[in-house]
Amino acid sequence: MSNVQNFNDLSPKMKFFVSTVFPSIFVLVGLTLVLIYLPDLLNANASKDWPTTKGKVVKSEVGSTASDSRNRGNYFPIVNYQFSVDGTSYTGEKVIFGLDKSENATRAREVIKRYPKGADVTIYYTPEKPETCLLEPGIKWQTFHVPGYGILFIVVGGILALSLKQNRRFTEQKNALDKK
């Protein structure tokens, strides 16, 4: 015997929750993710045209959130660099715009090899706010990581809402025909 109920057997409140509230939560989570990471996406795109200056890497290591005996967690590059613009000194830490974490340390080690401690580097910075800076300009696949999940949530929520709404209409039409 199955415990799964047919959508048509649900109470009106439950139908409303399943067909409206639940998909809306998906859409809202998706919109939140997209909106939170939209500045990174816009800055990544604009960074190709930012002015550059020379700087020096002052720290370069692999960071980790691994906390268990199997070293499961996330690994990320920690690259700190110093530079100056118009006589004012700044410190930066961003290599790219987007999430640069991975479940294995390979990606982080590759970044560290490119930017070892003491290396001279080219820094891209915003003219209005030089503390907004990075080492690798442009949009990378990591720039789309979180907004991509946001878009996926929006699409899934939209599909759920549309399919459940269509199911409800079909059921109402079928019930109307059955009454005749």
Helices (H), the chain: 12-16, 22-46, 106-114, 145-179
pLDDT given for residue 9 in this prediction:
73
> 2: pLDDT confidence band, cut at 50, 70 and 90?
very low
**For range 6-15, the mean pLDDT:** 72
pLDDT in tens, 107-138: 889 999 999 999 999 999 999 999 999 999 99
Tokens of 79: 């690259």
With beta carbons less than 8 A apart as the criterion, state whether 91 and 101 touch: no
pLDDT given for residue 4 in this prediction:
46
Please state whether the predicted TM-score (pTM) of the whole model is above 0.85.
no
pLDDT given for residue 149 in this prediction:
82
CATH code of residue 133: 2.40.50
Q: Does 87 map to a domain?
A: yes
Q: Does 118 map to a domain?
A: yes
Residue from 30, 28, 32, 10 nearest 19 by CA: 10
**For range 60-70, the mean pLDDT:** 79
Q: Does 92 map to a domain?
A: yes
Number of structural domains the chain divides into: 1
Q: Does 55 map to a domain?
A: yes
pLDDT in tens, 94-111: 999 877 777 778 888 999
For 54, the domain range is 46-146
- 87: left (phi > 0), else alpha (psi -120 to 50), else beta? left
